Chains A and B, each alone.
Chain A
Amino acid sequence: MKTFRIHTKPIHRRTFLKQSLLGAAAVSLGGHGPVGAQTAALNAAGSARAVGIIDTNVNLFDWPFRALKYRNTRALVAKLKKHRVIEAWAGSFEALLSKDMNGVNARLAAECHEHGPGFLIPFGSVNLAWPDWEEDVRRCHELHKMPGVRIYPGYQPFDLDHPGMESLLKMTSERGLILQVVFGMEDPRVHHPILNVGPVTFGQLSRAVNGTPNAKVQLLHFSGSSQGADVSEFMAKPNTLMDISRLEGNGAVGRMIGTIQGLPSPRVSVDRIAFGSHAPYFPVETAILKLIESPLDVQQLQAIMQGNARRLLPQA
């Protein structure tokens, strides 16, 4: 039988213990009490704490086409905490189809404050196809004190070649805001027939960000498929990040960071990958299982579960 090696570097016992303790220290900052040891190996080495997760991709309120199981914010918060999520960056399903974006953003801010202060971090939205979207950016930042904004191109009627994209990148960059770009919400094959969601073209974003290379940009629900544009080059920019919610295929996270071979995948540094569940549309279990399924060591797990998101947003 042919055997295949997994390309995770062997870890010396002393190094392993040190890395494990790094994980424990990170968790202690998150304010969680002691939990069970992380692995059988870790049990043998002593005790440690499980790393809390920063979920960079959840949405609140009602999905327009189905009553989701965790549509109630209180229930969603409880569900996320059950799975050791310590912070969730929350957008709003209302942003997909609404015109009154300030109303959307105000309700999002209030909901986060009421049900998860310090836990639910509101990411308001702006719609480049609506006039005076710049004022929505200003209000998200100054009025609602949000650390970033999330756009939903395709549902919001523009692609990433919209003339406002460069201005949006410049504006968010100057204000130190994170721009989250959502590449999809559901499989287009099961869209409600009344919907006609436009394309979302990664290459256009790559070009737009060239003028603002230090912009903080996170790709959400991005499959890694770029239709010719260089994902690896884009993700090498200093403040870029992508979530894992849309990575598909066995070992997808590991393939992307190069710890395992298999189906073709763009290569991205582990420093650019962050946990994102796409809850409550997707089960939060799915994203955590991706981290279990892929062969990842302690440092890689810590970076994806918490460290990389914390680097982009040091204080929520």
Chain B
Amino acid sequence: MNPREFFINPADYGLPTREELVAYRIWDNHFHGFASKNPIEQYERNNFFVERIGIERSIAQEVGGTLEEPFAPYPYDAEIVKILERDKDRLSGRTPIDPGFPEESCAKIEKWIRDGPCIGIKYPGTGKKGVTCSHPNNDPIMRLATELDVHVYVHTWLKVGGTPRLPGGDNGPSESTPMDLAKLAQRFPKVSLICGHSGGDWELGVRAVRPFQNVLLEFSGSDPHSGMVEYAIRELGVERLVWGGHGPSRSYATELGKVLDADISKADRMKIFGGNLRRISASILRKKGFKIVP
């Protein structure tokens, strides 16, 4: 089947057509196309869905190493760089770091962002030393991010557990909470920070980052809850929300449904689906030679 071939008309079911989705100019802030033992095959296979849904640009979360081993040589790096060049009209990347190793992290940012193809920094939350994003180790990384004027994506979650049983009590040792991110945001108010996965628990995540205007909330990689986007708009404002598909492990349908559930204007949907991400990426995209319409 051709990716643009449909036997169901979304408009008949109260949903946007592919053409309307394209018009939203969707930028996928959270793309795991290369997160696989066969990353190239997975990427190519997933393009069927990128094309089918009409996503304008995907931001791969693992360019240069993997989330688990961000500093280890990765045999697919060269091929991924070639794909970034081949598909530069629709694909960008972030490079993962580990604040347990600040010097290595800064060196990696130099290589993959200042001198390389990437447009952002990714905190995976799977670091080796149990260092989260609130630790002082992060300060040199943030200073470099400020100098390069790049945004920073932080995986955050609030997994319930522990003793006493509380949100965040079951997080991994290096897994940041939205409260960790709030501490970082307070120290570095000029860096655009993305609170990944809405903090996992969006009702609490929103509360944690609410005072810090440089923090954007990302909808991806968690279940779709009716009303979540409207709640975030009420508390944070629509300018602080970004959208991620989290494919292929999550369904684009899951993630699109969160935003389409909200009774908001087309202009506001466009901000969430891509406008806000383009705004915070404008500087680095210009430096990389991209001519992006905001």
Q: List residues of A whose CB falls within 8 A of some B CB.
A: 1-4, 6, 8, 35-42, 50, 53, 66, 68-70, 82-84, 186-194, 196, 247-252, 259-263, 279-283, 285-293, 295-298, 301
> Is B49 within 8 A of A84, CB to CB?
no
Q: List residues of B whose CB falls within 8 A of some A CB.
A: 1, 3, 5-15, 40-41, 44-46, 48-49, 52-53, 86, 157-160, 164-167, 169-170, 200-201, 203, 222-227, 230, 247-254, 256-258, 260-261
A288: contacting residue among B13, B40, B247, B251, CB under 8 A: B13
> Is B12 within 8 A of A283, CB to CB?
no
Contact A249:B249 (CB < 8 A) given known A186-B223, A288-B13, A292-B6: yes
Q: Which residues of A contact B11 (CB under 8 A)?
A: 36
Q: Which residues of A contact B164 (CB under 8 A)?
A: 193
A298: contacting residue among B7, B14, B52, CB under 8 A: B7
B226: contacting residue among A36, A191, A280, A292, CB under 8 A: A280
A-B contacts counted at CB < 8 A amount to 179
A2 to B257, CA, bound (A): 31
Q: Which residues of B contact A187 (CB under 8 A)?
A: 222-223
Q: Which residues of B contact A297 (CB under 8 A)?
A: 1, 7
Q: Which residues of B contact A249 (CB under 8 A)?
A: 247-251
A193 to B226, CA, bound (A): 21
Additional A-B contact list (12), CB under 8 Å, known A285-B14, A287-B257, A291-B8: A4-B48, A35-B12, A41-B7, A70-B226, A84-B14, A187-B222, A189-B200, A193-B166, A260-B48, A289-B252, A289-B256, A293-B253
> Is A6 within 8 A of B1, CB to CB?
yes
A292: contacting residue among B222, B227, B253, CB under 8 A: B253
> Is A190 within 8 A of B158, CB to CB?
yes
Q: How far is the CB of B50 from chain A (nearest CB, A)?
A: 9
Q: Which residues of B contact A280 (CB under 8 A)?
A: 226
**Which secondary structure characterizes the binding site on chain A?**
loop
A281 to B258, CA, bound (A): 11
Contact A250:B227 (CB < 8 A) given known A189-B160, A296-B7: no
A190: contacting residue among B8, B41, B200, CB under 8 A: B200
A38 to B167, CA, bound (A): 45
> Is A285 within 8 A of B261, CB to CB?
yes
Sorted nearest first, the 3 A-B pairs with minimum C-beta distance are A286-B257, A289-B253, A283-B261
B249: contacting residue among A42, A263, A285, A286, CB under 8 A: A263
Q: Which residues of B contact A69 (CB under 8 A)?
A: 226-227, 230, 261
A293: contacting residue among B203, B226, B251, B258, CB under 8 A: B251
A192 to B167, CA, bound (A): 8
A305 to B248, CA, bound (A): 24
> Is A189 within 8 A of B157, CB to CB?
yes
What are 11 A-to-B residue pairs whose CB atoms are below 8 Å?
A: A1-B44, A84-B12, A188-B160, A189-B160, A190-B158, A250-B252, A285-B257, A290-B254, A292-B6, A293-B252, A296-B7
Which of A8, A70, A196, A262 counts the most B-chain CB atoms under 10 A from its CB?
A262
* Residue of A whose beta carbon sits closest to that of B201: A190
A288 to B13, CA, bound (A): 8
Contact A36:B225 (CB < 8 A) given known A69-B230, A289-B257: no
Q: Which residues of B contact A191 (CB under 8 A)?
A: 160
A297 to B166, CA, bound (A): 46
